[in-house]
Amino acid sequence: MKKTLNTIAIALLLTITLAWANDEKDQPKDNADMDIVELASATDFLSTLVAAVEAGDLVGVLKGDGPYTVFAPTDEAFSKLPAGTLETLLAPENKDQLIQILTYHVVPEKISSSDLRDGAKVKTVQGQEITVSLKNGKAMINNAEITAADIEATNGVVHVIDAVILPEM
């Protein structure tokens, strides 16, 4: 019985270790030698965000001194938008709307995960506030869960989120 429990424990530990190692490949690079744009550009699953930042002519802003906090939606988060929404937002004639949405994901100060407080309201670069909630061990920004936190950049910090958050228009 004891030998069986030890075998199960070792198998469980190995499974957890392999899962953790695979998860590490899916995490953005944490490189304090990169600015926010360089960090996002070096992260495969943030390519849609990078394309949107480029379409909105916000690259120069996010390469600025900061500090900034960026709540970065993944490619999968963008794919959850209704069909055709992303393509419409990326069209040159909708640039102002795209900028409103993108700047709603940026806070003009550095906020680490340890600074997040349940119920806190934080003003974004766009001008409206986002709401922080901490529930069941999860940190949420409006309706988006933070899936990776405290990714340092030279001009701020990035927190990866699983949904695109939308301001009131």
Whether the predicted pLDDT of 12 surpasses 60 = no
Tokens of 70: 């960026």
**Is 70 exceeded by the pLDDT of residue 29?**
no
Place of tokens 């910090």: 157
Position 23 pLDDT exceeds 60: no
- Which of 31-45, 88-102, 118-132 is the least confident region? 31-45
The answer to whether residue 118 scores a pLDDT higher than 70 is yes
Contact 132, 114 (CB under 8 A): no
pLDDT digits (tens, 9 = 90+) for 37-73: 999 999 999 999 999 999 999 999 999 999 999 999 9
What structural domains does the chain harbor?
32-161 (2.30.180.10)
